[in-house]
Amino acid sequence: MRPEILQPLFAEVEALKGVGPRLAKALARLKIVRALDLVFHLPSGTIERVRAPAVSHSLVGRIVIVDVTPFQIREGRGRAPTRILARDGEDGVLTLTFFHNPGWAKKQLPMGETRTVMGKLDAYGEELQMVHPEVLEKGAEPLLREPVYPLTEGVTNKRMRELVQAGMERAPELPEWIEPSLKQRKDWTDWRSALARTHSHETSETARNRLVYDELFANQLALLLIRQASRRRRTRPLDGDGSISARLSLPYSLTGAQARVIGEIRGDMAQDRPMLRLLQGDVGSGKTLVALLAMLHAVEAGAQAAMLAPTEILARQHHETLKRQCEAIGVNVAILTGREKGKARESVLMGLADGSIHILVGTHAIFQSKVDYHDLGLIVVDEQHRFGVSQRLLLTEKGRHPPHLLAMTATPIPRTLTLTQYGEMDVSQIDELPPGRQPIETLVVSDSKLGDVIEGLGRHMDAKGQAYWVCPLVEESEAVDAAAAEERARVLRQRFGDARVGLVHGRMKGEEKDAVMTSFAAGRIDVLVATTVIEVGVDVPNATLMIIEGAERFGLAQLHQLRGRVGRGEGKSRCVLLRGSDLSETARARLALMRETNDGFRIAEEDLRLRGPGEILGTRQSGEQGFRLAAPEDVVELAPAAQGDARLLIERDGGLESERGQAARICLYLFERDAAVGLLKGG
């Protein structure tokens, strides 16, 4: 239950005067649905205006407010504009130009009567003009410095400013949660004053920093509370003897990094508090093998293990891999997704309940309420960035005892993002690739040479090579992306024949996708046309060519993930990044870096700098609670201080019972970290 003091801010926007269904729908496009969203909808810049007694060439390019007296109309014919000539206060001449609706202009600017106009002053030769100036009401004086907001169709800046002010009327004075000496050192005002100043014509970077800090403080405090709660829980230590994993037939010897990480995981699992560890490893670093050894460690200790994947394709890939490795050593591996129905599903549920299934692989279906485990000891979450903090908490509710949790990601995460998104977890890194992983040559090619690329693909296929062709992200729509993939597959089938070209996209049924992937893995299909559903988990060693169309539309980390689908066999691998002709400087820098390096950690740091945390893990991840105020540079600058402040508060007042602790609870609710408050006594 939110504190009473915050209730007015959580009212829906339609509770505000003058907001009806149509305006509410427009605001929803900006993710504004409550008064709280309005007060946190911060200006993106300011408009600067000049109040002038007369116009002059020195003011060209500025937005000018000036009193004028119209004296002549020059009617436009056809598409020619209508021009109204007017004198300013010092007998200078200003041309007011209108390309449409001349009747309205003549009515607003009658001859011989003084009016106040506002607009951008332009020079047309020696002539000074304003195109479509705003004619102000008598007595109206706009702000000379006005905040400018992100807008959508149907909402003007003036209307947004009025709405924000209506939201601000609901914003209360709140008790202070920032450590006093830090607040004094930063010269920060209280929360409400900072908010009001940020929305005023005196927009202040110091005031905005205070609000950004509050958000990062709430984030860090929530993660520390989750960590504290997990450390308080007790579970059964799992101390396997190595008898099962010793019988495993490994494809290669463990790298030093893998051995180190396995030691850290086994050390955690031997404790009587649940493991909460994030495993980072670059594409192809051997995380799945580490996960398997961790799961076998649990099985050796008499417990079960479950592996959660974000997509059905990845779940089935893992199931095939693990089943192949475990069958010979007597470990029973099963799969459970939304596709398993009837007797197949019942068989899995029975095997989990009686303990005859040792390892379960699947999608979210493995944590549904009707899925009961005999003794779940370890959960492995693959591609962890697709699941949020709250989802991580839900996973640990299964099992006779709180299970250990190992989260994995093949997307290297910069230190600052690790701090803000995984601060409740211990972090391990596999920073060494296994022997045999081939370096991938990356080429950047203009899409004007598409024909040459298709010819090169044909030569590659004729040489018994297989290839991926990834279609561009058209927009945030699986349907449109799927249509683009279908069109590319049609073109390639016309060129190479239907039998040689497969197609996979997110709109296909699971069985259809599996059939195509199986054919590709078996070598019956030469080229696989796909959307980003093949971003993770697909492992076909004979596929040594990756073509990514519209490469400039992808984030760096996502390009790195896609590139990692090749370079898995003995043959030389290439990745061709097909780019458009109209590239931004940022896009050029991203593609140049991809050509330059295969180092995922360097790529991740650069992706954060160039694109921000919203893009670093791909375009369609779900689960992570993003920041509404903090930009990447804010995270780098302020997150360490926010973590230090939150840690100090928890050390002094772990239950947040003191006066400052109660204020910090309000901060958690304000930034909607409610799950963390629920972990507190009386939360």
DSSP 203-235: --HHHHHHHHHHHHHHHHHHHHHHHHHHHH---
- Distance between CA atoms of residues 290 and 268, nearest Å: 14
Supply the pTM of this predicted model.
0.68
Q: Say how far apart CA 494 and CA 488 lie, in whole Å.
A: 10
Distance CA 173, CA 170 (A): 10
Q: Sign of the C-alpha dihedral, residues 115, 120, 121, 127?
A: negative
Q: Three-state secondary structure along 554-567?
A: CCHHHHHHHHCCCC
Ranges 113-122, 167-176, 213-222, 562-571: which has the least confidence: 562-571
Q: Which two tokens stand for residue 260?
A: 């180190």
The answer for residues whose C-beta is within 8 angstroms of residue 549's C-beta and 6 or more apart is 447, 469, 470, 471, 472, 488, 578
| 59 CB neighbour count, 10 Å cutoff | 17
Residue 118 CA to residue 133 CA, distance in Å, equals: 5
**90: pLDDT strictly greater than 90:** no
Q: Is the pLDDT of residue 80 over 70?
A: yes
In the chain, % of residues over pLDDT 90: 54
pLDDT band of 515, cuts 50, 70, 90: confident
Handedness of CA 513, 514, 518, 521 (dihedral sign): positive
User: Can you give the C-alpha Rg of the chain in angstroms?
Assistant: 31
Closest CA to 215 of 42, 16, 393: 42
Tell me which of 3.40.50.2000, 1.20.1250.20, 1.10.10.10, 3.40.50.300 is the CATH number of domain 440-597: 3.40.50.300
CA 54 from centre of chain: 50
Structural domain 47-135, CATH architecture = Beta Barrel (2.40)
Nearest Cα neighbor of 55 from 105, 118, 102, 106 is 118
Strands 115-124, 127-131: parallel, antiparallel or unpaired by DSSP? antiparallel
| Residue 278 predicted with pLDDT over 80 | yes
Helix (H) or strand (E) holding 377: strand 376-381
Digit-coded pLDDT (tens) for 632-665: 778 878 888 998 999 999 999 999 999 999 999 9
Tokens found for residue 139? 């007595």
Going by their DSSP bridges, the two strands 63-74 and 45-51 should be labelled as: parallel
Do 440-597 and 245-430 fall under one CATH topology?
yes
Q: What is the pLDDT of residues 431-449, one digit of tens each?
A: 887 776 667 899 999 999 9
Q: Where are the domains of the chain?
A: 1-44+151-172, 47-135, 245-430, 440-597
328: Cβ contacts below 8 Å, ≥ 6 apart: 247, 249
Q: Which of 32-41, 154-163, 504-513 has the lowest mean pLDDT?
A: 504-513
CATH number of the domain located at residue range(s) 1-44+151-172 in this protein: 1.10.150
- Architecture of the domain defined by 245-430: 3-Layer(aba) Sandwich (3.40)
Rounded Cα gap, residues 100 and 116, in angstroms: 20
Residue-wise over 31-56: b if at least 16 C-beta within 10 A, else e? ebebbbbbbbbbbeeeeebeebebbe
Strands 145-148 and 45-51: antiparallel
pLDDT at 249 over 70: yes
